[in-house]
């Protein structure tokens, strides 16, 4: 077994050794992990994060911490999720995953769901070899879930098994619209004053800064390597690009980043598919729980000041067409390696934290004031739609969950079987797409959920 296989399989015992939960017959966590859920079993949804450094692991933790844990959760699942969260206290160095039973609020009430979270190391394109190795590992992880599905009996229904249904791809805004960089210091040029026989005075001569640091001459652009990575991942899984570390962006810079991402992805034939179909997805509003900043100005979404207010008008927000890509912020409580001492919770404390409460219905986990980021001028609340797009993204994921599951099962899985056949699964070093150093071809990869228009996506799913 090579090192790549070993690192990918490090958490396979956690993934495969989950016993069947009460109330869910045929739970695929049981046995060796290769058993299909029985008819009527609760559905499964697997979400993978990939891309730049900064925010991937925090997003998974925030998604986990805002979900209601199912009363039917098993002890093995709680132990596995506690181990997963403990590993979030440092940089992710290998692909790891955990599964837990949750309940998702829908129009028809609470819906049971087996939620699997997959964390991956950061893609560092400054190291071509490491980036390519990680891309191969990530693709192999997705392929291995399909390969398990091929081994199922043809006579049994397969409601989704453990396929990877969605990849959230994090983009570094600094690589799209770099922050302002001061120009080099003005050189000192000796000049002699007219009519003077004295020594030359040292008078500075102001020169224009280089073009690369002049914001008026810089064209915002999505790096081609990110576009190539998104295209390669889209060969196996639905991909949704998002903006990482959005708290570092002003309104104007955030708008420029969104424009650049949408423009360059569109030029590459990549869109946002079903996530562009409609607007908000029933984001819960908690006006009584809003935490006002202790200092600084509270922004108004219409770009104006409140009546009878002494606060200056804010910059207008991005127009509605630039709702996507979503811009995300990580709360301070998930930060690590920033020089701030934080006591890591013990395994026992985490098991208690994620154990379902005795109270029913459980208290809301979307209350504001807990997941915040503090600055000298005030606070940013990750659950405030005016500060972060997390709630919009969370609602969109669960809103389109059934469609993503069906598309993955009926199209991506069938496409995988057609390519490799039931007896020829891909090897651990197999690449399902072109290497990052080659420019992508629009004809080599079949467009997937993020590449399709809503109309085309509906045609693919039509019976």
Q: Highest-confidence range of 145-159, 180-194, 205-219, 303-317, by mean pLDDT? A: 145-159
Confidence at residue 206, expressed as pLDDT on a 0 to 100 scale = 46
Output DSSP code: residue 21: P
In total, the chain counts a number of residues equal to: 463
Average pLDDT over residues 195-216: 49
Checking if the pLDDT of 238 tops 70, the result is: yes
Tell me the pairing of strands 109-119 and 44-51.
parallel
Confidence at residue 335, expressed as pLDDT on a 0 to 100 scale = 86
Confidence at residue 218, expressed as pLDDT on a 0 to 100 scale = 72
CA atoms of 116 and 267, how far apart (whole Å) = 33
Checking if the pLDDT of 205 tops 60, the result is: no
Checking if the pLDDT of 78 tops 70, the result is: yes
Band of pLDDT at residue 446, cut at 50, 70 and 90: very low
Confidence at residue 439, expressed as pLDDT on a 0 to 100 scale = 38
Checking if the pLDDT of 158 tops 70, the result is: no
Average pLDDT over residues 218-245: 95
CA atoms of 133 and 234, how far apart (whole Å) = 17
Tell me the pairing of strands 201-204 and 96-106.
unpaired
Averaged confidence pLDDT in the chain: 76
Checking if the pLDDT of 263 tops 50, the result is: yes
Q: pTM of the predicted model, to two decimals? A: 0.75
Confidence at residue 463, expressed as pLDDT on a 0 to 100 scale = 52
Checking if the pLDDT of 313 tops 70, the result is: no
Q: What is the percent of the chain where pLDDT is above 90? A: 51
Checking if the pLDDT of 442 tops 80, the result is: no
Tell which residue, 463, 409, 442, has the closest CA to residue 165.
Answer: 409
Average pLDDT over residues 116-139: 97
Tell which residue, 38, 95, 45, has the closest CA to residue 67.
Answer: 45
Confidence at residue 90, expressed as pLDDT on a 0 to 100 scale = 85
Average pLDDT over residues 248-265: 94
Average pLDDT over residues 227-232: 98
- Helix, strand, coil shares of the chain, percent, nearest 5, are 35, 15, 55
The domains of the chain, with CATH numbers, are 3-182+221-461 (3.40.50.300)
Checking if the pLDDT of 402 tops 80, the result is: yes
Average pLDDT over residues 304-327: 56
Confidence at residue 285, expressed as pLDDT on a 0 to 100 scale = 56
Average pLDDT over residues 349-359: 91
Q: If residue 378 lies in a helix (H) or strand (E), which one and from where to where?
A: strand 378-381
Confidence at residue 106, expressed as pLDDT on a 0 to 100 scale = 78
pLDDT tens for 79-108 read 999 999 998 888 899 999 999 999 998 777
Angle, CA of 335, 95 and 428, to the nearest 5°? 160
Band of pLDDT at residue 160, cut at 50, 70 and 90: low
CA atoms of 83 and 351, how far apart (whole Å) = 9
Band of pLDDT at residue 357, cut at 50, 70 and 90: confident
Tell me the pairing of strands 201-204 and 372-375.
unpaired
Cβ atoms within 10 Å of 164's Cβ, excluding its own = 25
Confidence at residue 338, expressed as pLDDT on a 0 to 100 scale = 73
Average pLDDT over residues 17-37: 38
Confidence at residue 337, expressed as pLDDT on a 0 to 100 scale = 73
Confidence at residue 282, expressed as pLDDT on a 0 to 100 scale = 58
Checking if the pLDDT of 417 tops 70, the result is: yes
Q: Highest-confidence range of 8-12, 13-17, 53-57, 339-343, by mean pLDDT? A: 53-57
Checking if the pLDDT of 25 tops 50, the result is: no
Confidence at residue 46, expressed as pLDDT on a 0 to 100 scale = 98
CB 251 within 8 A of CB 233: no
Checking if the pLDDT of 262 tops 80, the result is: yes
């Amino acid at each position: 077994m090579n090192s790549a296989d070993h690192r990918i399989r490090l958490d396979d015992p956690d993934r495969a050794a989950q016993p069947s939960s009460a109330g869910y017959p045929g739970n695929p966590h049981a046995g060796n992990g290769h058993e299909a859920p029985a008819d009527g079993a609760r559905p499964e949804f697997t979400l993978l994060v990939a891309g730049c450094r900064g925010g991937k692991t925090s997003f998974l933790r925030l998604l986990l911490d805002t979900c209601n844990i199912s009363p039917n959760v098993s002890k093995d699942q709680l132990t596995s999720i506690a181990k997963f969260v403990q590993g979030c206290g440092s940089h992710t160095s290998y692909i790891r995953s955990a599964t837990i039973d949750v309940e998702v609020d829908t129009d028809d009430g609470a819906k049971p769901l087996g939620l699997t979270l997959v964390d991956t190391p950061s893609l560092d394109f400054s190291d071509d070899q490491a980036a390519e190795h990680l891309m191969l590992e990530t693709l192999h992880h997705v392929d291995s879930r399909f390969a398990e599905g091929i081994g199922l009996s043809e006579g049994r229904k397969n409601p989704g098994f453990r396929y990877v249904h969605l990849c959230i791809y994090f983009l570094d805004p600094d690589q799209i619209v770099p922050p302002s960089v001061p120009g080099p210091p003005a050189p000192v040029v000796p000049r002699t004053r007219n009519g003077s026989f004295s020594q030359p005075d040292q008078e500075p001569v102001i020169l224009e800064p280089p073009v690369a640091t002049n914001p008026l001459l810089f064209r915002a652009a999505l790096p081609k390597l990110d576009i190539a990575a998104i295209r390669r991942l889209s060969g196996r899984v639905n991909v949704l690009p998002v903006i990482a570390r959005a708290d570092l962006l002003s309104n104007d810079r955030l708008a420029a980043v969104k424009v650049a991402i949408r423009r360059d992805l569109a030029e590459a034939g990549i869109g946002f598919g079903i996530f562009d179909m409609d607007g908000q997805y029933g984001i819960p509003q908690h006006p009584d729980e809003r935490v006002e900043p202790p200092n600084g100005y509270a922004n108004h979404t219409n770009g104006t000041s409140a009546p009878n207010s002494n606060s200056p008008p804010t910059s207008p927000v991005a127009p509605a067409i630039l709702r996507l890509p979503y811009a995300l912020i990580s709360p301070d409580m998930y930060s690590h390696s920033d020089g701030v001492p934080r006591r890591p919770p013990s395994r026992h404390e985490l098991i208690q934290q994620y154990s379902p409460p005795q109270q029913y219905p459980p208290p809301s986990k979307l209350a504001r004031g807990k997941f915040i980021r503090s600055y000298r001028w005030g606070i940013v609340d990750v659950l405030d739609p005016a500060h972060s797009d997390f709630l919009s993204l969370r609602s969109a994921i669960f809103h389109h969950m059934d469609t993503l599951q069906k598309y993955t099962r009926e199209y991506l899985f069938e496409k995988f079987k057609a390519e490799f056949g039931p007896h020829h699964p891909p090897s651990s070093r197999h690449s399902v797409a072109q290497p990052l150093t080659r420019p992508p071809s629009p004809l080599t990869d079949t467009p997937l959920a993020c590449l399709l228009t809503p109309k085309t996506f509906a045609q693919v799913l039509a019976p």
